[in-house]
């Protein structure tokens, strides 16, 4: 049975539709949600959302924090920021990674947290962007 999913950011609605399963980076690690999941509310960490589509394909989404509400038949993701794999600007993520790597060296331990998060976001975006080739089901038109 499919489950309805809505993914929004402060800027836009990224996805709305039915999927077989969604996996997302919850407070306790990567979790999978199917139809009829027990209701729950959790925070999202920096990581990857995978939409297991009804046609058998998968969509990969980079997400950088937020909250998710699971209802028996619907998952609502309110993301701080989120990009589909094919929307990720690789050069921008590489530049962000480099900036963060350089600036972390000059910081005291207690000032490192924001830079560590920027590092995590850029690494995760690069990882998800790598998956764009696998995003479409075999046989469908490539971009």
| Residue from 61, 70, 115, 125 binding ligand ATP (CB under 6 A) | 125
- The yes or no reply on residue 93 touching ligand ATP (CB under 6 A) is yes
Q: Is 105 in the site for ligand ATP (CB under 6 A)?
A: no
**Residues in CB range of 76: below 8 A, 6 or more apart:** 6, 8, 68, 69
Half-sphere exposure in the Cβ direction for 122 (13 Å, CA): 17
Measured between alpha carbons, how far is 19 from 106 in angstroms, rounded to an integer? 45
Nearer to ligand ATP, 34 or 78 (CB): 78
Residue with smaller CB distance to ligand ATP, 55 or 143: 143
Q: Could you tell me the smallest distance in angstroms from the CB atom of residue 143 to ligand ATP? A: 16
Interface positions, 6-25, toward ligand ATP (CB under 6 A): 11
Which position among 44, 48, 63, 83 is part of the footprint of ligand ATP (CB under 6 A)? 83
Among 41, 54, 92, 116, binds ligand ATP (CB under 6 A): 92
CA 17, distance to chain mean position in Å, is 16
79 binds ligand ATP (CB under 6 A): no
DSSP assignments along 28-97, one per residue: TEEEEE-TTPPPEEEEEEEEEEEEE-TTS-EEEEEEEEEEEEEETTEEEEEESSEEEGGG--HHHHHHHH
81 is a site residue for ligand ATP (CB under 6 A): yes
Closest approach of Cβ 42 to ligand ATP, in Å? 20
């Amino acid at each position: 049975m499919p489950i309805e999913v809505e993914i929004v950011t402060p800027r836009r609605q990224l996805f709305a539709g039915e999927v077989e399963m969604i996996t997302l980076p919850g407070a306790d690690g990567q979790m999978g949600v199917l139809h009829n999941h027990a209701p729950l509310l959790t925070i999202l960490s920096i990581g990857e959302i995978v939409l297991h589509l009804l046609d058998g394909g998968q969509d990969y989404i980079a997400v950088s924090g937020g909250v998710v509400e699971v209802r028996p038949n619907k998952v609502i993701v309110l993301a701080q920021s989120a990009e589909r794999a094919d929307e990720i600007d690789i050069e921008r993520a590489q530049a962000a990674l480099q900036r963060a790597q350089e600036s972390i060296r000059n910081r005291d331990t207690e000032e490192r947290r924001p830079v560590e998060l920027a590092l995590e976001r850029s690494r995760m975006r690069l990882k998800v962007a790598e998956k764009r080739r696998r995003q479409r089901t075999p046989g469908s038109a490539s971009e």
